[in-house]
Structure 1
Amino acid sequence: MLSFNHFNLRVPVHRLDAVLNFYGQVFDWREGFRPLSNSDGRWLYQGDLPLVHLSIVSEAEAEQLAARGSGYLDHLAFHTDTMAALKARLDKFSIEYSEVKLERTGLTQVFFFDPMGLRLEVNG
């Protein structure tokens, strides 16, 4: 059995604050302990769980990554029991989103983008 562990984003240093603020504002994830590494970066936590690993890259590497795109990665999905609270946060911080209601299951899906252009989906 597998469970979601973390996702890693490579972030140019000039976008780091925007990414940290975005995930802090939308999901209330906070920067926490990161083991020593040969590269610079930050880890964002939900409670005691380090969900997002941010790896800081040079401008040149960021340009190469941008040219390559996200490969097969389309989006990352999460589940919430508090969809109204999530949408209120997105509205509060003027983050545009789209909403899909799946009539057969009663599930609501909200889609939006982080500052790096990564599409996020939250189900509830």
Structure 2
Amino acid sequence: MSIRKLEHFNIRTERLHETLAFYTRLLQLTDGPRPGNPPRETGAWLYDTDGVPIVHVAAFDRNDETRIAWLNNYLGERDLDSLNGSGAIDHIALLAEGYDDMLERCRTLGIAYRERLVAALNLRQIFVTDPNGISIELNYREA
């Protein structure tokens, strides 16, 4: 057995609308279907340009005990106060295209970013932080 690729990452959030705006407006992922067509207020699946749902968003309201119980049963129990930032995971890296376009979108949307060049790998990077405090590394291998 071997691991072939990362399928998706899941974000539990109290900031559903801000999270969806970040991933769809800035990263240009597409908000698409979820199995069983659950209610919109419970979350979303966001698809890359290959049609793969790489970001799953699970929404919760800390005042909705039924929803929290369901999430804890389905995804595993979490302390609600710990659901901010990347925790022990420092960042999530995504291969991207259109470096200059991303910089312009960051500026237009008022999203703070940090650039880095890894010359030994001929790699340009842009780091952004989503509304949940999760650090996203965008890697550009374009010539």
Shorter-normalised TM range: 0.7 to 0.9
Corresponding letter in the other structure for 1:88:
E
Which of 97, 105, 126 is the matching residue for 1:89? 105
**Hey, what does 2:43 align to over in structure 1?**
41
Matched, 1:8 2:23: no
Which of 42, 56, 59 is the matching residue for 1:56? 59
Task: Answer with 1 or 2: which has the greater Rg.
Answer: 2
SS in 1 for 2:79: helix
**% identical equivalent positions:** 31
Q: Distance in 2 between matches of 1:54 and 1:78?
A: 17
Q: Distance in 1 between matches of 2:34 and 2:43?
A: 8
* Ranges in structure 1 where 5+ consecutive residues have no aligned partner: none
Residue 38 of structure 1: how far off its partner (Å): 8.1
More strand by share: 1
Matched, 1:66 2:81: yes
Q: Distance in 2 between matches of 1:34 and 1:68?
A: 23
Give the structure, 1 or 2, with the largest relative contact order (CA under 8 Å, sep 6 or more): 1
Residue 81 of structure 1: how far off its partner (Å): 2.9
* Ranges in structure 2 where 5+ consecutive residues have no aligned partner: 69-77
Residue 68 of structure 1: how far off its partner (Å): 6.2
- Shift of the 38–28 alpha-carbon distance from structure 1 to 2, 3 Å rule, reads closer
Structure 2 length-normalised TM: 0.74
Structure 1 length-normalised TM: 0.84
Q: Distance in 2 between matches of 1:100 and 1:67?
A: 29
CA deviation map 1:40-81 (0-9, x unaligned): 3211112421111111123266x9343365432111001123
